[in-house]
Chain A
C-alpha cells in the first residue's frame, strides 16, 4: 500500500512537469489557434539558458530560472511578431510547417551555441536530499516540482478568471473579430500570449536542469508528450490539460511499477481510447 501511494506521489511530480509544458501549448492554441510544434524547442532553449546563467555564470538558481523565462519569452515574442503573424490567414498546414521548421532551426542553433554534448550543472543545495514519506525517501526536488506545478495552476486560474488581462485574453480567444471591434489590440494580445506560453515552456526546461539531461533533442521528446496531453484534455482547454497531465503522469508511473514491459505503450493507449470515444478531448465544450 505504501509503495502504491509512494509511486502515486512520484507520478504526481511527473504529472506537474508535463503540466508545465502542456499548459503553454494549450494556451497558445486556445488564443492563437496555432499548434506550436516548436513548443518543445522553447522548453529546450529555456533549459539551456538556465544552464548558462546557473551552471556557467554561477548565478543563484532562482535568478537563473527567471532570466531564462525572460530570454525565452523574448524569443517567443520575436517568433510571433516576425514569423507566425504572417501566416494566420493561410492554411493551417503552413503553421505546422513553420513551427516544425523552428524545431530544426532551434535544435541546430543549440548545437552551434552550446555544442552537442549534454550539460550537467550541480544540484542546488536546497533541492538536494530527501524527506521521509510513507517510510521511503521522497526527493525534495520532486516535491519542489509538484509545488511549482500547483502554484502555476493557481496563478493561471487567478489570472484568466479574475483579472482584467485574463478577460481580454478570453475575449480574444472566443471571438477575435469582436474583440478587435470593441477596441482590444488583438495583435498585441497574440504576441503577449505567445511569449507567455513560451515562458511556461521555459519554466519546465529551466527547473529541470539540476536532475534532467540538458541536450539537443530533449525538445522533440517533450513536444510529443505535451501534444498527447493537450489532445486528451481537449486542444485549447487549460483545465483539460491539467487533468490529463495528472492522468498521464500518474498512470505512467503506475505503468512503470506494474507493467514495466508495456509502460511506454500506456500513454498512447490512453490517447487512442480518448480519440475513439471523445475525439474532441475529454474536456472540450
Chain B
C-alpha cells in the first residue's frame, strides 16, 4: 500500500519519514504565536470573525452526566444559537458521546437542523485504552447511529514509546470504517505529547494515515489548544498541502473560552495555513462555553453595550 506516495505504512518507512521532518524550536514557535496574538481585530473584521467562528464551533457536551434532554437542548442551540436573531449562523457540528448520537441526529432533523452534522467521539475516548476490535466496533456503532464525523483518539502510549506503526495502523483501520460515510478527525491529546516536535510528527502521521482533520485535544487534559500547538499543526497542514495537493482540516479543542481566544485562532489560521482554511470544512473549534461569549460579543457590536448573560441561553 502507498499513502500519498510518501510512505508504505511500514514501521521503518514511517520512522524514516518522521525523522527527516525539521524540528520545531520551542522559543521561536511560542514567540510567533505570541506576536500573532497582538493582532487587533476591530469593527467590520470583528463582526466577520465572530460569525465565522460561530459557524466553526463544534458545540460539545462530553460529560458522564449527559442526558437525552441535555443533548436535545444542545442541538436546538446548535441550529439557532440565538433564538431571537435568525441571522446568526448554525454551528459547525454537535459533538457528543456515541450513545447520544442517535438522539442528537433525530432531534436535529426534527427541528430543521438537517444541515448540522453530528460528531461522535469514538475509539474509547478519551484515553484510547481499549483493544482494536472494541475501537472499530465503537466507531461502527457511532456511524450506524448517524454520526457524520468521527473524532478518534490516538494511542498516546504507543506514540510516546515510538511505535509509530501501531498508531498509524489504528488510524488507517478507523479510516476504513469511516469510508465515505464519515469524516475522520484524529485527536492527539497534545497535552500528553508535550513537545512541539511530537505535535508535528503526530500531525504527519495522522495526515498520511488518512485523517480529514487533525485535532489537538479531548478537552479532558490541560494544556490543550494553546496557540503555539495550533500554529505547529497549521504549518503541518500547509506544508502537507504543498506536498500532496490535499487540504487537511485543523480542530483546536479545549481552553478556547472567549471571543478573543477564538479570534486569535482565526488570525493564526489566516497568517499560517492561509485564508483557504477559513471555512468550517477546514477549521473547527471544539468548545462549549465559547458560543455564549461569541453571541454576547455579537450583541454588543449591534447594541453598543454588553447585555446581561441572561440574554443568551444556557445549554
A binds B: no
Name A's B-contacting residues (CB within 8 A): none
